[in-house]
Structure 1
Amino acid sequence: MKISIHFLKDGGIKMLKSKDKIIIQILCVVAAMITWLFVVNEVNPISGKDVASIPIIVRNSEALEEMGLVVAGIDISEIRVTIEGYRNDILNITRNDINAYIDVQGYKEGLNKIPVELELPEGVNMVDYSPKQVLCEMEAVVNRTIDLSVEIDGLVESGYYIGKSVSSVNSVIIRGPRSVVNSAVKAVASFNVNEGTDSLKKRIPIDVYSDKGLELNVRITPEIAEIMVPIYPTKRVELSVPIAVTPRDGYEIATITVEPKDILVAAEPDVLANMEHVLTDAVEYEDATSNIYETVSIITGNYILVENVNPVVTINIEKITSKILTFNLSEIEYINIPQGFTVSTTAEDQPIQVEVTGLSSFIDALVKEDIRLKADVGLLEGEIGLIPIDYESAKTFRDIAIEFESVEVLLTATEPTTEPTTVTTESTN
């Protein structure tokens, strides 16, 4: 190969045109390619990368719902993908840059194996991924009506009571997969009273729960309920029991007790202010000879019974009996004796009987020391005569009869006593 070169006057060199110029150009291209391959392999090589936990997206679920079906469950919700590409292109690739999806359009109710499809960023190639298909369960979409319950959260201020809530919604319609809808046991609106002292009204979202207490992902109609929760002041009032019990002759009512004696009620403030008691059913018996135990019902009114009680009325019926206690005339205590006199009976000392009548439990426990016989000398006219016999006791009797109505007494003046006097004489020196 012959190359002609001319040296110019200014020292430059000029290559002469020839057919070999093409060879030089090819050599330049080859050198550029070699340089590019070096840069690619050494500076930005092709490499691989594993990307895990890529969520599987369900597509065309709307089309499935138009057929009356819904995706009830997928056995695997995430996949793992191995990708490759230039290191600079895949270095910052994350799970959010890769789309994994299944297309559910056209499948029928039951279990279906559906392939997983991928969408990768530009310049990134897929090497492998797993799993390549998932097991997807399709279920029919069903409706069901379920009653709404209002659950109260929180506590009201002390001295107040939460009444029965009033809701604009009594039941809701839930829509979703058959198995999910069938597992629903309650629809709930949770109402927080926030230590309230007055009635509250709120708009509360409705939730649906399974028998395991899990909130269910179903469509709820309506979604909101307007709820009013009344809050009333409370007061403790007496239980009043009408008693219409007639004991048999020779018997008497000893005691009447009601347990509990009072009860906590709630009502509107103006009603509560005038309440002193609540009535129960009457207790009615004729010719009673033994104790009566009866549970009575409280008569309802414009108030709320805060406590759940069953009042029990106990009526003790006792037989009327008598007991005779024997005293002596000498045991009578005389009062109001004039000063300077003594009193004595004109008759010899003799027994005197006192008959006491009352309830059997009282009479059985009665002893002689419970009664003190006395006579008031201040009622005597003159120095001798009859004065009535009376009694004194810390106990109350149904009846008492003293054998002698009066006793004859004699007043005797006491002998004056002369005290000896001592005369002191003075001696004169």
Structure 2
Amino acid sequence: MGNKLSNSKPFNIIISILLAIALWIYVVSVENLPGSKTIYDIPITVIGADELENRGLVISSMSTDTFDLHISGNRNSIIKVTDENTTVSLDVSGITGEGKWPVKCKVTLPSSITTGSVTTTDKNNYVITVTVSKLLTKTVEVRGEFKGTVPDGYQADSFVISPATITISGQEDHVNQVAYALVTVAQDELTKTFKDEEMGYTLMNAGGEKLTNLNVKCSVDTLSVTLPIVKVAEIPLTVQITDGGGATADDVTYTISPSSIVVSGEPDVLEPLKEITLGVVDLSTVFDSETLTFQIPLTSELTNESGITSATVTIKVNNLSTKVMDATNIEVINIPDGYDVSVITQSLQVWVRGTGEEIANISNYQLRAVADLSDVSMYTGQFKVPVKIYLDDGSGAGVVGSDYSIAISARK
């Protein structure tokens, strides 16, 4: 009979219901027992700091920046309150001047807590002492420091930093400590330009010491930093010699001062550069010796590290003779329409150069002075015009100099 009863379905249902009722009574009686707990180190959220800044003020310190919350209530509600769903806020918008201000915190419990099921205790501890100082804002430069290395034949150029300055605001005595911001590149054996679009920086004092624990805000958190790494080489200087005036490149010697300069640039630009040509020396304009000055030409892609912007070329003609001769064969060509021109100059002294034998065999009649009026601004009267001198002897001798002219008379 007993086994039949325990195995019957109605009996089991009744037993289950009774057990459920007993468990419910236990839970209600135990879980709703009063209790308390402390939630430690809840961060204090400051609100109203922008209003302080608008008044030229800033929080320099607080008596604490975390809060220990003591609560009591039924256990079922208390266990739902944690440091992650509870906020403690401190409204400083009512502060109007410098000094120490007592400000009461506001505790906000999670919305899931039924009103009245949890209460906070020790409300006297809700007051935080806030120290307020004068707000200062200033702008400081950003400097770059290279503490790495480059291989031989390479060079680190000047930093390119953007922005070049940052704005710092905060507690006056803290802001006044900052002299500049510093970015540091420390990589070794750099052969390519270093770039970092989001590089951090360090605030430094005037003595070059790192500043920490400052109560300041900066206008930017990161900077765009470029440190150009370029190749460096010593490049010789040279000139192009043009034959003329009876002399060739084999007949002259020359020196250049300086003979070379140090140049830097990207490897693909610098490596093909074997020499720098200063310019052209036309030997027809050089008498026995000349000293000429040339600007040193460089493309915008290269940098003159020597800093010398010009070079002097001293050139000397060797083993040739010069002689002054009279050119009497003078003619005028390309006379503009409507003008009648007569030559006033009948004889023109001309410098001729060549070997001793060539000079001895030249006669005056072999010299021609030709005035080409095609590009001359004409007017009536007497004036001078340039002439070109020709030597028609068939030898290697030639005329030296280019500043020859004759006087003519023009009328319409």
TM-score of the two chains, using structure 1 as the length reference: 0.43
Which structure is larger by alpha-carbon Rg, 1 or 2? 1
TM-score of the two chains, using structure 2 as the length reference: 0.45
